[in-house]
Amino acid sequence: MKNWTKMTLGLSLPAVIFAAWWFGTNYGNIPRQILPTPQAVWDVYTSGEDGGKLFSQLFVSLGRVVKGFLLASALGVAMGSVTGISKVANAIIMPTLTAVRQIPMIAWIPLLILWCGIGEESKIAVIVLAAFFSVFMNTHAGISETPENYLEVSRLYKLSKPQAFVSVYLPYALPQILTGLQLALGISWMAVVASELISATSGIGYHMSDARSFMRSDIVIACMLVIGGVGIIMNLGVSTLFSALAPWNKREKRTRAATAKNKAKILTGRRGNSYV
């Protein structure tokens, strides 16, 4: 399927939803406080006061995401590497982290607020806790699955453990680590909005909660659209960056797809010949 065809199909459902929204709010009996018109939402962006507040709060949230994501990434890669290389560390650390991972992120927010207050520290702690496990699990899986013959070569060349990590473990695990980082970035964005909705004095989640208290559904929907748009931009940007960092992973996927396609052709040909 061609790219423009995929894009057209992908935009068809949003277009239908937008048309239903426009028609229902302009010709239906839907109260404006419940569902504003698309024009009212657009006016939020173009308004100097409402738009200025929205985007200033957005940048506050993005700053928190950057701090929390970087910290979660550093911790996740470090601990995932240690547990992936060392069986002893894996036996000590993995059971506890597996148990902690079962607790929903939102359940930690009240305790983190008690520990850290409602300032920056609690928001960053929520992001770190939410994003850490995606990086950790993918790093652990990539490191622990390094083929034994690769490690034999490193021992043959008498590489030290740091040298083996940089030359053998890390290159092999990099595609999975990047996947974990991509997932963690999306989780970080959702986590900061959730934490700001519950308890905050700034951020786009707080701005949504404040608008709800004043029955400003136009601002709430405008914030939701911005949150979704920023999430899409983050995902596309990170995907492009990681494809450049690990181009061999993309080539490997293409090779596998081509191999599968050739096998399907061969099987189809055999089946066709069997009926002749």
CA 194 to chain CA centroid, nearest Å = 14
Which CATH homologous superfamily contains domain 39-243? MetI-like (1.10.3720.10)
pLDDT band at 275 (very low <50, low <70, confident <90, very high): very low
pLDDT band at 40 (very low <50, low <70, confident <90, very high): very high
Residue 265's pLDDT is what? 57
Burial class (CB in 10 A: 0-12, 13-18, 19+), 66: middle
Which of 10-14, 76-80, 108-112 is modeled with the greatest confidence? Answer: 76-80
Average pLDDT over residues 100-125: 86
Neighbours of 43 (CB within 10 A): 15
Number of H helices, E strands in the chain: 12, 0
pLDDT band at 28 (very low <50, low <70, confident <90, very high): confident
Output the DSSP codes for 100-121.
HHTS-HHHHHHHHHHHHTTSHH
pLDDT band at 107 (very low <50, low <70, confident <90, very high): confident
Average pLDDT over residues 69-85: 95
Q: How far apart are the first and last CA of the chain?
A: 32
Domain ranges of the chain: 39-243
- The two tokens of residue 113 are 């607020």
Average pLDDT over residues 244-264: 57
Neighbours of 234 (CB within 10 A): 18
Residue 273's pLDDT is what? 53
Neighbours of 275 (CB within 10 A): 5
Tracing tokens 């459902």 back to the chain, one arrives at: 13
Burial class (CB in 10 A: 0-12, 13-18, 19+), 42: middle
Which of 20-34, 89-103, 250-264 is modeled with the greatest confidence? Answer: 89-103
| Residue-wise pLDDT tens digits, 207-226 | 999 998 888 999 999 999 99
pLDDT band at 11 (very low <50, low <70, confident <90, very high): confident
Decide if pLDDT at 2 tops 90: no
Decide if pLDDT at 96 tops 60: yes
- The two tokens of residue 220 are 């709430």
Residue 276's pLDDT is what? 40
Decide if pLDDT at 85 tops 70: yes
